[in-house]
Amino acid sequence: MPHDELRESVPALTFPRQAFVSLLVFAAVWETLSHLAPYLGIPPFAIPSFVRIAQSLADITPIDIAVTLARVIAALLASFVLGVSLAMAMYRSDSLDKYLHPMIRILMAVPVVSWILFAVLWFPGVEFRICFVLVVVCGPVFLVDTLDAMRGVPRELRTMMQSFRPTTPQYFIKLMLPAIVPTIFTSWKVNISLAIRVVTIAELVGAVTGIGHQLSVAEELFSVADVFAWTLVLVVLLFLLEAMVARVEVRMLRWRT
């Protein structure tokens, strides 16, 4: 049977049996190890049981989740506006592109840890430091993806549009922006995952609130159960944000189905 037909024959919503089995196996191995730890010479705190992890989950402070979420969303929005605006300007101006492109590539090559250290050394405010790190990491991704997508708009469509003589804003609003929407959604999904990871590291180093800070506290207390619980929260947060973006994507790109 051809692959396409096979894919079409699978219902849209099925029970993820394989995923469920693998998670169950992981949980069973973890729980067994947590009980066997004393006999294996592993410190008891290293592999906490699920009961202990559940206790840590119950102690999760929602304010820290809200703070991290707010930081991620605000920084992503700022990165998006900045990245897309710069990409449009670079698309319009070859010379601007030639000046900025090498700089963007260099920015993208700088490790996240270096940005965090720069932020700590340069800026006194915690919120500004975190926002700076997130924008400097996520902004270039939006920029490069948007620029590539605009350059990928078929020449036939660009010529058609130009033949009807749009103004520059009309050209971007009626052609370029709708044409790059699929890439923008992909970029958002990539950046959400990136931002969640980066914000955690940034909070770990320089914040007194947020999930990263709570992870730092857990580390100081040698509480693997707390680290596990907060990590679980981060993963769920990432999945929820991705699901939200996917939902909006389906609505906005319904012309593709």
Q: Which residues of the chain form contacts with other proteins (CB under 8 A)?
A: 156-157, 159-160, 162-167, 170, 174-175, 178-179, 181, 253, 255-256
Cα 230 to Cα 211: distance, rounded to the nearest angstrom: 7
188/228 with CB nearer other proteins:
188
70/160 with CB nearer other proteins:
160
Give Cα separations from 71 to 62, 74, 126, 188, 242 (angstroms).
Answer: 14, 5, 11, 15, 16
**Alpha helix (H) ranges present in the chain?**
3-9, 17-40, 50-58, 62-92, 94-109, 112-122, 126-151, 155-163, 168-170, 177-206, 211-220, 224-252
- Per the CB < 8 A criterion, the answer to whether 213 and 228 are in contact is no
Cα 217 to Cα 249: distance, rounded to the nearest angstrom: 37
61/170 with CB nearer other proteins:
170
39/164 with CB nearer other proteins:
164
Of 107, 116, 125, 74, give the one whose Cα is nearest residue 204.
116
Cα 70 to Cα 64: distance, rounded to the nearest angstrom: 10
86/175 with CB nearer other proteins:
175
Q: Minimum CB separation from other proteins for residue 111, in Å? A: 38
Q: Minimum CB separation from other proteins for residue 251, in Å? A: 13
Q: Minimum CB separation from other proteins for residue 181, in Å? A: 8
29/253 with CB nearer other proteins:
253
Q: Minimum CB separation from other proteins for residue 3, in Å? A: 21
Cα 215 to Cα 218: distance, rounded to the nearest angstrom: 5
Q: Minimum CB separation from other proteins for residue 188, in Å? A: 18
Q: Minimum CB separation from other proteins for residue 159, in Å? A: 7
